[in-house]
Amino acid sequence: MNSNFFENIMKFVKLVDSYGTVKLIKSGIMMVFFAYATYISLNPSAIFDKYIEYTERIHNESFNRRMEISGFVKENLSHMLEESGAMRCFVVELHNGHHNSAGLSFNYGSLTYEVDRDSVESIMEDYADFTLERFPFVLHIWNHSSWHGSMEDMSKIDEKMSMRLMSNGVGYMYATSLYGSNGIIGYVGVTFSPDDKFDLNQVRRISNKYASKISILLNNTTCGTVKK
């Protein structure tokens, strides 16, 4: 056995002398690559199975995180409602539902979280899934990070949205952007009835405070334990 071992060592030394270490390393890499390419060509389903396994793992992690953070988001909205005296606090999240034949996305918004004052009717189903292109108001917040005003003010930007909100009993709204690692991920806002009295500066301060907290919760790249 020792003689075979030494014979192999001598063969390797001769190869190094003949071709050089760099050429041998390159040849080894090419052989590994060729072997892997051969394996894929003979087992094409292996890559597909790995891809399915990867996408399922990502989906499960995302699902579990959503279940984990939802209670914290609602808790923050409850505090926001109490501190602001609003009739409603809400979160709208942006998402890419579909795309056209050229790959350009159709952009959607969904009212995913809502906390209402007692006796105030929920509007979640009215804004469950809407295309952003239909409402110039959403583009306005995208460009300016936040917006506040009466429904009359909103009608100058987006008459359709102002009419819908008025039908929901809204007289005034303050909304500000939620940010993730890759930019804006949605909006958090408060609405008041036409008869509500409030301090705008206080509403701004409260909205910015909870926008920071909720942004951290909804940012899917956040690692570690979820904090309130």
- Cβ neighbors of 17 (< 8 A, separation 6 or more) are none
Instruction: List the 183-192 sheet strands across, edge first.
Output: 130-131, 105-116, 88-99, 183-192, 172-180, 146-150
Q: What is the pLDDT of residue 7?
A: 61
- pLDDT over 50 at 226, yes or no: no
Secondary-structure class of domain 68-218 per CATH: alpha beta
Q: What is the pLDDT of residue 50?
A: 63
Other CB atoms within 10 Å distance of the CB of residue 78: 12
Per-residue pLDDT tens for 37-95? 676 666 666 666 665 665 666 656 767 777 889 999 999 999 999 999 999 999 999 98
Binning pLDDT at 50, 70 and 90, where does residue 102 land? confident
Phi, psi of 114 (to 5 degrees): -155, 135
Domains of the chain, by residue range, sit at 2-42, 68-218
Q: What is the pLDDT of residue 206?
A: 97
**Residue-averaged pLDDT of the chain:** 82
Q: Among 44-48, 116-120, 130-134, which range has the highest average pLDDT?
A: 116-120
Which long-range CB contacts under 8 A does 158-167 form with residues at least 24 apart?
160/134, 160/135, 161/135, 161/136, 161/137, 162/137, 164/126, 165/191
